[in-house]
Structure 1
Amino acid sequence: MKKTGTKAVCLLLSGAIGIGGFGLFPEAQADASAAKNVTQASVAAASVKTVPQIIKQVSPSVVGIIGEVSLEDMEDWDSEGGSGEEGYNLTHGSGVIIRSNGWIVTNAHVVDGMQNIQVVTSEGKSYKVREVYSDPLSDVALIRINVTGLKAAQFVSSDKTALVGEQVIAIGTPVSLSLRNSATVGIISGLNRATDARYRLIQTDASINPGNSGGPLVNMRGEILGINSMKYAAVDIDNTGFTIPAGTVQYIVDQLFDQGEVIRAGLGLELEESFSATVGLPSDDPLTVMEVLSDRARKAGVKEGDVLYSVAGHRITALVDLNELMKAYRPGQAVRVLMQSGGDIVERRIVLTSE
């Protein structure tokens, strides 16, 4: 996938071997508030650990994933291959234990097309994967091994806790399975990045390499901020990696657990964003309806050439914005949309379809 204007390739990072006042007076309230802030800051500071402490805490929840992929599929992988039996090459990635009874989250591109999948724990034990559930659109997958008593990782309670500039650690299996549970340190370089992904991502300069896919990006409290997924790779481009935020991972995982697949809500429209939004320039330009795909949208009066300004009161200027908003809805629900149609600004009610 080419990144417009940078001559950089955005690579999926799988690897191959050859995730109160209490009624006080104003002055007393101010003192109490200041004391509360000091206490909260002290608690937050106390919860921050050293890099070695974080690695020791989180590493038991990080696994290596290895399997076979055909030589034909190997052409789509972004790393060198190695020899295998019957025309197959071994490939590998990383994963994060999310339940003690064997459930692991990883990237869809790690396990899609992979056969005879094995999970290798941090202590070097190997287990055969029994179940695989994959969602390629989000690049999130769930796999299960038949073992209990695993150490499950702790994810952040909210993506809003992440801050640009805060120190983070990436843990995974770069380059070779023999390097599993390698750790690199960096910062959060940016939030809400719109790349070639369906949803917004976290950007980090922590070094991530082929094989790190599916591994975690961890804050200094030992919480998983997200699942490492891809990076820009080109001459003169260094340490520009991207992570699927924990909130998106949870959205996908919940549906995979509930129904074995992700059922997304959509407007039933093919939309096109402006040139400014496409190349990443600040833009207030709306989206244009290129095609009406659902009968529900057609019955609502939407036509080709209409312009979409907002959905459920939220201004929409990029497709990724709409995708993020739709995570809060399910097919069959109705939303109000503000559009321009035939020169008039109109509000329409669209019943959401499944994508």
Structure 2
Amino acid sequence: MNIFKYIYLFIFSMKRRDFIIAITSLALASIAGGVIYFDNEGNKYCGEVKIIDSMGRTVYVPKEINKVVALGPGTLGMIIYAGGLDKISGIEQIELRNMWGQDCWLAYHDKFKGLPIVGQGGPNATPDPSAILTAKPQVIIEDQLYAQVMDPNQLQEETKIPVIVVYTFSPKRIGELGPNTFKSSMSLLGELLGTTDRTNELNEYVNSLVNDLNSRTSNISYRPSVYVGGLPYKTGSEGFLGTDVDFEVLNLINTKSVVDNLGWSPGFYNIDFSYLLRTQPEFVFIDEGNLETVISEFSQNKQQFCSLNAFKNGNVYGLLPYRWYQVNVTNQFLSAYYIGKNLYPDNFTDVDIFSLANEIYIKFLGINIYSNYLKYAPGYVNISGNFQC
């Protein structure tokens, strides 16, 4: 029996109503250039807008999106930066903890309460299709880490909901987020969420910050040596020796860390204290997300820390958290300005870090959260008083 006879028998075995529905659905999909999705309740909708996500996948989504869920490190923050706060219909369990080091949590954690839980969350978590469905999203947005532990096409098949992967970290550089990757992700989210005016404005602002920092620091004859410690990574609770080679904050001000001279590949490392004793960085900056850990280490080995000139000379400064289940892009730029102001004061005389914090937080989040941070951390100040040598 040839293929045409199969089709003939299939069509005429259908009820007239089902036949009409099938033909109509196919016609709509053809006209829209999209695909038909069916949710678990049998309701159908047309994916009529083509989106190319960060992984290069082609995904068809509804023309108007009002409900999304965010999965994985950094995804929630990126959606909020992109102007999609009111579209979030479910939340990961981890986002309901005290995540004070995360800028979007400080700004909007009250809005997360009462939302359906769509999974446990965390850097090693796996998407939970059944939990995701409780939030009834039109689109699932996830980061590249989640895409590694479960194929986004598999998640899409299991939930019958379009899955968009957005880079929340630079490609092949988990834990860092460069301006170009950030802008690309903003453009993707703006197109997806219908907030292109917002994301275009934010990308232009990012360009202005990058250009301003570069113009202030590109032609400097003397660059003091610097070390940034206490940087968190996957577990979050790293000590003083936790640092980054090729740290994006320092890249913004054309500055190298002493650890960049090790010749290691870019990324996070726990280094040996002996290396700092040999290189003697003139300035030390500590991520205040791990400040209590560093203070505890200091109390247990005061003599070693006080062998560093930066500690003896009072050149130890605090930075608001850079990573906390996301890269805080707000603090990334603020920290670049603060480090630049201390290393190259003549080039930053017009910069008031507190006024700048107000501007940056409002631009990215719509609200100034600097005073909220001060409930948990010293802020952008000299913190040598915590390390009396």
Higher percent of residues as helix: 2
Higher percent of residues as strand: 1
Greater Rg by CA: 2
- TM normalised by structure 2 equals 0.28
- TM normalised by structure 1 equals 0.30
